Chains A and B, each alone.
Chain A
Amino acid sequence: MLAYILRRLIMIPFLLLGVASVSFLLSQMTKGDPLAALVPERMMSNPDIVNAVKAQWGLDQPLPVRYVIYLGNLVQGDLGTSFSTRRPVATDIAERLPATLELVVAAMIIGTVMGLALGLLSARFRGTLFDSVARIFALIGSSLPIFWSGLILLYLFSVRISFVPGTGRLPPRVTAPPDVTGFYTVDALIAGNIPLFLQALSHLALPAFVLGWAVTGVITRLVRSSLIEGLSLDYARTARAKGAPERTVLVKHALPNAMIPLLTILGFTFAYLITGAVLTEAIFSWPGIGSYAVRAAASLDYPAIGGVTIVGSVAFLLANLLTDIAYAWANPRIKVH
């Protein structure tokens, strides 16, 4: 197993180099003004400004030269400077990634716990009113566009009944805790600042729920259908014949088998949300990597596009690796080579 993991880890830098090259070439070939984020529209006709900016950012060099420079910088860990923020892309990502990770981890916890519970209970009480309600809840979660559910829940819980505060990671008047992990909730706890932890948690709750609800929908349906299928198989019948109560059959026999497809979905969803939580980030003014990615793409910010692509690729590669390891753990019949 260890050798397998090491082999996969060694492959990652080479895969990333390939991804970075494809990303660089595709973004350079995309139709659009490369100076969109560097020169304001009104200055586009000013040759002095345009030439100075091109020279400053190396855009006056031919594509192959720029490619070699980009790769050269990349292998030294330099992702370049963002056209939009004018800061190193690595700094931007380091600042934004923890915000996204905190949101996504919280959403995955909420989504997984709710999805598993609802899926289990739905399968157990199949065909009852509870089953219908749980399935409708799951269906709404996965069908409602987040820009709608986010805004409505924000209006309801923040504006109308003041159950949770508004947008952002903390109230604007509050200073963030000293940076250790980048997760405000965790850092506040590390700093021993419980009121700050509660504020960070209260800001995290609603966006995490909105994002987690969408995840819940997928997981509930998957768990329910896998369990129902499992409950009709031979091993379940045998367990029942041996006198095992239905709860035991469900939890100890059917559930472990339902975990295999669930792990795939969880791994994929987690990796997807790293760069795909854009709408939630926009509605809740959550300064994460998703909104950074969208802005980078819209303004043809090549260095930022490259940086975000690499982060997304790392997330997918690691999620795949962890899923494979979890497979082996969840199902001893699966061997890794």
Chain B
Amino acid sequence: MKHFSLKQGLSALLLAGTAITAAPALAQDSDTLVIARSMDVNSLDPSRAFCDTCQFYLTAVYETLVTLDADNKTLVPNLAESWEVNDDFTEFTFALKDATFADGSPVEASDVVWTFERLKNLKGSPSFLMDGLTGAEAVDAKTVKFTVEAPNAEFLNKVSAPYAGIINAEVAEANGAMAGEDAAEADKSEPWFLANSAGSGPFTLASYSPEAELRLAKNDAYWGTAPAFSEVVVTQIQDAVSQAQALETGQVDIAMQIDPDTAKSIRSGDVTTEIVPSFNFVYIGFIPGAKGMEEVLTPEVRQALALAIDYDGMLDFTVGGNGAKQAAPIPNGFPGTSGLTPREQDVEKAKEMLAAAGAEGLKLTAGYPNDNIYGVDFNIMMQKVQQDFAAVGVELELKPLTWAVWRDELGAGEWPVTAIYYAPDYYGSGQYIAYFAMIEGFPWVGRASVGKPELVVNPAEADLYAKALATSGAESEAAYTALGEEMMKDAIILPLVSPNLVLAYRNDIEGVRYSACCNLPLAEITRK
């Protein structure tokens, strides 16, 4: 019988070691752009999707009528070469460019009408973009006209959202998509959209494996300027540290979710990191309609609690100073925010107000998702709130919950304080009013009041909102500023931090930027 010697064994081990140390495929000179990301895809159907990953996927594959310029403020032509709006912001007419879908067929007004009707009738997550749409008409093959029931100066901004990307109606219909009023029940095309695409963008969907890989291929028939890469691969890498490691080794070109602390740990000279302000924010919300809180969590008490928070300390505590304070639940840089001043801590005044309200020794509970969003650990954030409340004599019990349980308890008034986050769907302040304003029937009225809207409704806000939507320019901006001030008076939503964003990429990559509507515009990225 043959016996292996120690020497032979070691040689075999060495050989095996050499074999597995095959050099990783590095980024340089590759025609493929690789992006590291923890993907949160909930659909790849533009009319159903609603997630951060969806934003840049849809932007790359489908195209909107208008889009947001790199200044993150100005709407510029995309599929529409021009548009007209009537004086009262109820009619919007778009003239289309001579664009084509990836299959070579022209983008026509009928496709736009079909897409918007489907978006509305599918009752999917982004269907709110078409709220108030009463008419959609293909005037001719290249002209499309939309009518909304009430003035809506933000309609143009809404159609710049990636979810309003135009779909090739013929291809989609052939694969089970429906746009009629029964689309919510009749449309069976979602599985098809997970493996195929029908847009006019610079890329097409090549393949998708959930939580593993999203692969885009260059649209060879693209009607505009061809993208620099023949392929884009979004690879699932869960945490910031692993993403940074993949970036340092050259395994990926861009890492999308690196927090400022992790960015500091990157030592490779081949990596560029830029810290830029984001339009995301995290906030705490008060729920005066929670059990036993009707007489307790009054506007005065809420204002006192708002004054108790050390906002500067919160910035340091949660994101190491890499963020900004935010006055109202409208992100800094959005219309109407330049005239708003963030709150400052005033412990003495908070104590006085609590004493005047007879709320000394107040005990509250905060139920919130046990999560880390945009680099903010909610447990750490809420511990800071707990400390600040304790300084004014308010005891805050923390109740971190799993996402599903938090959602279950949210509408039940189990606790009077919660915390969550918001990222924009498009550039425009109206979306924040439609969500956070204390206007009867609006989402946060339901949450804060738990069925007793009289506790929180602010009558001034409905008129201001109507005015903001019926005007433009400085007049509209002034209305949003006034709305921001009113929401600060409501003290239902207290923005705590707007965390900065880290753009981290290999040095040979250019064109990486953060977009308020579209997250990361892939078609603008090139390799030096």
Contacts and interface: CB of A to CB of B under 8 A. Distances in A.
19 contacts: A33-B407, A33-B408, A34-B404, A43-B128, A46-B128, A49-B123, A49-B127, A158-B249, A159-B249, A162-B23, A164-B20, A166-B242, A172-B233, A173-B34, A202-B20, A285-B236, A298-B403, A299-B403, A299-B404
B410 interface: yes
Given A172-B251, A295-B211, 16 more contacts: A31-B408, A32-B405, A33-B408, A39-B125, A41-B407, A154-B245, A165-B249, A166-B246, A167-B245, A167-B246, A195-B22, A202-B21, A285-B237, A287-B211, A298-B402, A298-B404
A37 B125 CA distance: 12
B124 interface: yes
Interface of B: 19-25, 30, 32, 34, 42-43, 50-51, 123-125, 127-128, 184-185, 190-191, 194, 209-213, 233, 235-239, 241-242, 245-246, 248-249, 251-252, 402-405, 407-408, 410-411, 420, 422, 435, 443, 446-447
Contacts of A155: 245
Contacts of B125: 39-40, 43, 49
Contact of B236 (A35, A37, A287): A287
B210 A84 contact: yes
A217 B213 CA distance: 34
Given A31-B405, A282-B238, A299-B403, A43 B22 contact: no
A168 interface: yes
A181 B185 CA distance: 38
Contacts of B20: 164, 198, 201-202, 205
A2 interface: no
Interface stretch (A9-17, A85-93, A119-127): A85-93
A188 B453 CA distance: 63
Contacts of A34: 404
A94 B436 CA distance: 43
Nearest to A300: B404
Nearest to B124: A49
The 10 A-B pairs at the shortest CB distance, nearest first, are namely A32-B404, A165-B24, A287-B212, A33-B407, A52-B123, A36-B404, A45-B443, A85-B210, A171-B25, A202-B20
B408 A41 contact: no
Contact of B42 (A32, A37, A195): A37
Nearest to A53: B123
Given A168-B235, A174-B25, A43 B50 contact: yes
Main secondary structure of the interface of B (DSSP, over half): mixed
Contacts of A43: 50, 125, 128
Nearest to B38: A285
B238 A285 contact: yes
Contacts of B407: 32-33, 35-36, 41, 44
A166 B36 CA distance: 12
B210 A87 contact: yes
B209 A95 contact: yes
B241 A41 contact: no
A45 B242 contact: no
A45 B447 contact: yes
Contacts of B127: 48-49
Contacts of A56: 184-185
Contacts of A202: 19-22, 24
Nearest to B27: A173
Interface in A63-99: 84-87, 92, 95
A41 B411 CA distance: 11
B404 A41 contact: no
A159 B251 CA distance: 10
A118 B32 CA distance: 45
A45 B444 CA distance: 8
A31 B408 CA distance: 8
Given A173-B34, A202-B20, A33 B404 contact: yes
Contacts of A95: 209, 212
B402 A167 contact: no
A216 interface: no
B213 A172 contact: yes
A55 interface: yes
